[in-house]
Structure 1
Amino acid sequence: MGKSSKDKRDIYYRKAKEEGWRARSAFKLLQIDEEFGILQGVKRVVDLCAAPGSWSQVLSRQLYVPSKSDNQWPLLMVSFKFKETSLVHELPSWLVIQHFHGCKADLVVCDGAPDVTGLHDMDEFVQAQLILAALTIVTHVLRPGAKFVAKVFRGKDISLLYAQLKMFFTTVTCTKPKSSRNSSIEAFVVCEDYQPPEGFEPRNLYDILEQASGAYPELDCSSAWLEGPNKIMVPFLACGDLSGYDADQSYPLPSEDYQSLAPVQPPIAPAYKTALGLEKKLQMV
């Protein structure tokens, strides 16, 4: 099936096609950067779940400055796979550090999300486990004082995830860009000033993932048992230009002289379509 009529008339969807972005989500990262300045002073970036790659496009356009002495991109695009609620492949952190010539990353971003089922409790749980899986990578590759930005689904047990993030970052803010639809439960956590607890071992986070995946059914993974300062409340901020477009509205062209540009690149076709085409040709032979 093709895109729905709502997607076709969405202003950010149309602007993404005209400006050559792979997806409308590029504007979310641009608006987060406009509000928080997350790309300021950044030279080394890790992009987790980099598909279809619109955030990688933003990072490369904003950070890549070619020079005669060093013609490398200061960007590493990494994607990891997950099955059900757990990470199935551990990212070899030494490869990331080796790519950065022995240094750790200044920023890690993650715009990944599971295929939503419509069951909000299930979707929120799987998304939280995806963020915890990303956090296990962050603790290996992120330098102290650096930043982490990730998508979350807000729900009744989100305070548990906030509490875990606050253990590693001095400042945690939940934000919703203007380009994110009001009807969506998605938001983004902007975690600043990475400061892991004294004596922390990165491997310990895998125990949390195992508990949440059902390896220890006697443990309660909800946040209902948190009390006092352990029940973290993080500030919420709606970011982006408030005078700009609303992602849930449709707009007429600015004027009669306005010329709509053709897409810089066609919509992305999944790789399996090529495989299906080859299979049909083989069957016809």
Structure 2
Amino acid sequence: MGKLSKDRRDIYYRKAKESGYRARSSFKLIQINEKFGILKLFKPDIYNCNNEKDLINIYNEHYCYNIVDLCAAPGSWSQVLKNICLYNYYQILYMINKYNNNENIKNIQHEEFLNKFSLYINYNEELENKIKNLKIKCSNIKEPNIVAVDLQEIGNMNYVKIIQGDITKMSTIDKILKCMNNKINSDEENVNVFYNMEQQKKENNFSYAHTVVSDGAPDITGMNDIDEFIQSQLILSSLKVCCSVLKVGGNFISKIFRGEHTGLLILHLNKFFQRVYICKPQSSRNKSLESFLVCLNFSLPRSNIISMNNHNAENKINDKYLSEEQMRKFHAQLITYKDKDDQESEEKKENYNSHDNN
């Protein structure tokens, strides 16, 4: 039976079509988020705020997310992320309008919407319409920021900035940072005239991502060792992006193919994250190799620099005086070197096996 026929029998394929999502993979992210509570829905009623300023501060600090979706095509994970972000944005706008007794909340049907809302249904369009009716001139309320990146084209989505680019290239990472800081909308070029990113970082007026997610995977060869290796290289590329765009304390979710060397990859990730889990959501097919890494509480470890200094006595780096930005660049370079070393090691292994077979 062909792949299309199998998909049509798949309960999550049908659910995605019925719920307005672009692909069944949307439910994987929903179920991962349910288990780990990484991206929370804003419920203003649980806060005892006496004024709108306090509520806005709570929203801005804890519920207004900057998120980067890597390998995002066709965009189903971005739809889920948009559902979460726009729900939270709608909630704060509604409450501020309510505080100010604005008449535009009368036809919103707020309670009915809250009762029916579920992440398992795509409410992107309805949330957009509600937000349009509630928009107020209040510079203190932050808008959520979602950046979706892929080599392939992604269908346009309001509130999602789309970059068509290669995540292994620094030019793409720079675009992600500029998008998150509202300096470009998507694939615009030649923005350096208008924007000095380094200056903004020095002034501590710079936004990093709360969460980076990646559902990307290579074309499956059917040879598990090769598939696992190629996927691990993609994860390392995503980690390099994290070193540049993820805030300290942020989280990372990525697809992984479990195999013989999974433990080594997790050991490497543990240097950057306080906790690393592997989970397989219910919507992931049982026969599939895939699981998902959930990496929590990102940091920039100094241990990697100390280790390198021990092997490079001539050009030691004094890590005590490195700024956060210097640490980010340093770790991105280290991951690039590790990626190259792994590829060379794999090529030597293949050449050895080929020679042995002859």
TM-score, normalising length from structure 2? Answer: 0.56
Counterpart secondary structure, 1:38: coil
The equivalent residue for 1:100 is 180
Deviation at 1:76, TM superposition (A): 1.1
> Over residues 262-281 of structure 1, what are the superposed CA-to-partner deviations in whole Å (9 max), with x where a residue is unaligned?
xxxxxxxxxxxxxxxxxxxx
| 1:43-192 to 2 correspondences below 5 Å | 43-64=65-86, 65=89, 66=131, 67-68=135-136, 69=138, 72-80=143-151, 89-101=169-181, 102-192=206-296
Moved more, 57-66 or 30-39: 57-66
* Larger helix proportion of the pair: 2
Deviation at 1:156, TM superposition (A): 1.0
Counterpart secondary structure, 2:253: strand
CA distance, structure 1, for counterparts of residue 298 and residue 142 of structure 2? 29
Compared CA separation, residues 61 and 181, structure 1 to 2 (3 A):
same
The equivalent residue for 1:13 is 13
The equivalent residue for 1:207 is 337
The RMSD of aligned alpha carbons is: 2.5
Equivalent position amino acid for 2:283 in 1: S
Which consecutive residues of structure 1, in runs of 5 or more, have no partner in the other structure? 221-285
CA distance, structure 2, for counterparts of residue 106 and residue 87 of structure 1? 18
CA contact (8 A) 1:211 1:217 kept: no
Counterpart secondary structure, 2:275: strand
Compared CA separation, residues 215 and 57, structure 1 to 2 (3 A):
same
Equivalent position amino acid for 1:34 in 2: E
Deviation at 1:93, TM superposition (A): 3.2
Moved more, 55-64 or 35-44: 35-44
CA distance, structure 1, for counterparts of residue 16 and residue 230 of structure 2? 28
CA contact (8 A) 2:16 2:22 kept: yes
Which consecutive residues of structure 2, in runs of 5 or more, have no partner in the other structure? 41-61, 90-130, 153-165, 182-205, 303-318, 320-326, 351-358
Deviation at 1:205, TM superposition (A): 0.7
Deviation at 1:97, TM superposition (A): 2.6
CA contact (8 A) 1:210 1:216 kept: no
Instruction: Please identify the structure whose Cα radius of gyration is greater.
Output: 2
Counterpart secondary structure, 2:259: coil
CA distance, structure 2, for counterparts of residue 157 and residue 91 of structure 1? 30
| 1:223-238 to 2 correspondences below 5 Å | none
CA contact (8 A) 1:44 1:106 kept: yes
Deviation at 1:5, TM superposition (A): 2.5
> Over residues 27-72 of structure 1, what are the superposed CA-to-partner deviations in whole Å (9 max), with x where a residue is unaligned?
0000011110111335100000011110000001111224434685
Moved more, 197-206 or 23-32: 197-206
Deviation at 1:87, TM superposition (A): 6.6
Counterpart secondary structure, 2:211: strand
What is the count of residue pairs matched by the alignment?
A: 216
> Over residues 136-192 of structure 1, what are the superposed CA-to-partner deviations in whole Å (9 max), with x where a residue is unaligned?
111000010000000000001111110111010000000000000111110000000
Q: Does 1:25 align with 2:25?
A: yes
Counterpart secondary structure, 2:339: helix
CA distance, structure 1, for counterparts of residue 242 and residue 171 of structure 2? 10
CA contact (8 A) 2:149 2:167 kept: no
> Over residues 105-142 of structure 1, what are the superposed CA-to-partner deviations in whole Å (9 max), with x where a residue is unaligned?
00000000000010111101000001001111110000
CA distance, structure 1, for counterparts of residue 143 and residue 74 of structure 2? 22
What's the % identity of the aligned pairs? 43
CA distance, structure 2, for counterparts of residue 145 and residue 98 of structure 1? 21
> Over residues 171-223 of structure 1, what are the superposed CA-to-partner deviations in whole Å (9 max), with x where a residue is unaligned?
00000000001111100000000012124512111001111222896799xxx
